[in-house]
Amino acid sequence: MAAFRTLRAISAEDAYANLALAEHTDRLDARDAAFATTLVAGTCRALGLYDAIIASAGGRPLSSLQPAVVDLLRLGAHQLLDLRVPAHAAVAATVNLARGAVGQRVTGVVNAILRKVAALDADGWAGRLRDERPDAEALLTRHPQWIIDAFAEVLPAAELPALLEADNAPPTPHLVVRPGLAEVSELGGTPLRWSPFGAVADGNPAELDAVREGRAGVQDEGSQLVAWALTRPDAPVGPWLDLCAGPGGKAALLAGIAAQVGTRLLASELQPHRAALVARALDAYPEPKPVVIAADGTRAAWPAKRFARVMLDAPCSGLGALRRRPEARWRRRPADVDDLVPLQHALLASAIAAARPGGLIAYVTCSPHRRETVEVVEAASGVRILDAASALPEVPDAARGPYLQLWPHRHGTDAMFLALLRKTGPTH
């Protein structure tokens, strides 16, 4: 029931899987919560594939079925085709769930369609879909074709299967300290490969003292690395700016490093509720605390040429975080990129205007899509593009021309893109 309610929130309300899961599994024991998480994440990851199978098995379009019934069938298909759940148990459990969650009247159609799904195994369905659908090969990778095409444009063809496979593997959570407030040794586990601020540890992060006290948090190593990269090349003396700081992970890391070198961070976030998350992430720092404001990054709430280092983690399609956000691959559309690109251009122009001459700007996206990355940076003016990969010489195979590009299959991180730019113009 927890998995079903989570999936309904994702399907009907555009909820984020991780937030909806936390809400609906908070009263379950650890084992049941883990199984509900497996059900939801796996179903979301293969949603397009399961929809094609359900439509084929039922001999009818999904639009002819009640939305709640579609979600029930998706959960059942995942148990039948991707988990080690016996067919009779998966069908019976889903029919019982249908009875309790929707009503007796839908149990017949759920039972009939799932029995037809169970008539073939995963390989059998792969063969049938190849005969029925021109998009079968994309569906079998659990990715829409347009996302595969976007990856193929910027990645060597030989690596594409490995990337798609890595996208389908649940990531191991990475922990990060707030510099100056905690030591990596407090996190337990194994230090991360390249970031000096984090570790991989088993168990629930919330049980660690450093996490409970706000002296550490959860953050993918890729996000740690691109924030660290901004701090490594030379830059003028002066305050730092995080232009789109929500939900606060990069700001929390930057604030600690800034304090260690004797300066302060201003963290800005458009949405007040996300600005509140940033403030919470920074709350453990002593006075004078980093400053957090709710402001539109395209309309500067600060003087021009004020900041020595500027972080712009631009709003993007999130195609680089499909491991952690399994629902995003079927929710996003090419039109979303069309809508985001003008905003990315405007925010980068604002970040450049905020930087001092000689100052550094980090343009970051959690997407490798060419239109959101290289094309945005190459259209900017008033800056010189630096060799971003050289700012992180510890990390192998990360150069994408003058930019840095991390990949799940190469680095075990989100596919973070980083451009490092130096503001040109007179310094006096």
Burial class (CB in 10 A: 0-12, 13-18, 19+), 248: buried
Say whether both 242 and 121 belong to one domain. no
The residue out of 78, 113, 140 marking a domain boundary is 140
Q: Does residue 208 lie within any of the structural domains?
A: no
Say whether both 243 and 123 belong to one domain. no
Is the model's pLDDT at 182 over the cut of 70? yes
Say whether both 131 and 255 belong to one domain. no
Instruction: Give the pLDDT of residue 13.
Output: 92
153-179 pLDDT, tens per residue?
999 999 999 999 999 998 889 999 999
**Termini Cα distance of the chain:** 65
Say whether both 270 and 419 belong to one domain. yes
The residue out of 140, 160, 176 marking a domain boundary is 140
Say whether both 105 and 251 belong to one domain. no
Tokens of 363: 């343009």
User: 395 falls in which pLDDT band (50, 70, 90)?
Assistant: very high
| 252: enclosing H helix or E strand | helix 249-260
Q: Does residue 395 lie within any of the structural domains?
A: yes
Q: Does residue 415 lie within any of the structural domains?
A: yes
CATH number of the domain that residue 130 is part of = 1.10.940.10
Say whether both 117 and 7 belong to one domain. yes
Residue count (the chain): 428
* Catalytic residue IDs: 366
Q: Tell me the H-state helices in 119-237.
A: 122-132, 136-140, 145-154, 160-167, 209-212, 221-230
**Domains in the chain, number:** 2
Q: Does residue 131 lie within any of the structural domains?
A: yes
Is the model's pLDDT at 428 over the cut of 60? no
Say whether both 109 and 12 belong to one domain. yes
Say whether both 304 and 398 belong to one domain. yes
What contacts 149, CB < 8 A, 6 or more positions away? Answer: none
Q: Which domain covers residue 354, as residue numbers?
A: 221-423
CATH number of the domain that residue 356 is part of = 3.40.50.150
Cα separation of 426 and 428, whole Å?
Answer: 6
Cα separation of 394 and 67, whole Å?
Answer: 49
Instruction: Give the pLDDT of residue 425.
Output: 81
373-391 pLDDT, tens per residue?
999 999 999 999 999 999 9
What contacts 132, CB < 8 A, 6 or more positions away? Answer: 56
Q: Does residue 174 lie within any of the structural domains?
A: no
Q: What secondary structure letter does DSSP report for 234?
A: -
Q: List the Cα angle 395/418/263 in 5-degree steps.
A: 95
- Dihedral angle of Cα 248, 237, 357, 402, to the nearest 10 degrees: -60
Place of tokens 């003058």: 402
E-only strand ranges, 163-298: 174-177, 190-191, 198-200, 216-218, 240-242, 265-269, 291-294
β-pairing verdict for 265-269 and 291-294: parallel
245-269 pLDDT, tens per residue?
999 999 999 999 999 999 999 999 9
Q: What secondary structure letter does DSSP report for 155?
A: S
Instruction: Give the pLDDT of residue 196.
Output: 98
Report, as an integer, the average pLDDT of 339-359. 98
Place of tokens 């039972």: 111
Among the residue ranges 44-58, 124-138, 196-210, the one predicted with the least confidence is 196-210
Say whether both 135 and 226 belong to one domain. no
Q: Are 146 and 334 in contact (CB under 8 A)?
A: yes
Q: Does residue 167 lie within any of the structural domains?
A: no
Q: Does residue 291 lie within any of the structural domains?
A: yes
Is the model's pLDDT at 135 over the cut of 60? yes
62-82 pLDDT, tens per residue?
999 999 999 999 999 999 999
Q: What is the b/e burial string over 59-87, where b = at least 16 CB atoms within 10 angstroms of the residue's CB?
A: eeeeeebeebbbbbbbbbbbbbbbeebeb
Q: Does residue 175 lie within any of the structural domains?
A: no
Cα separation of 70 and 49, whole Å?
Answer: 13
Tokens of 176: 């990060």
The residue out of 86, 105, 140 marking a domain boundary is 140
Say whether both 257 and 401 belong to one domain. yes
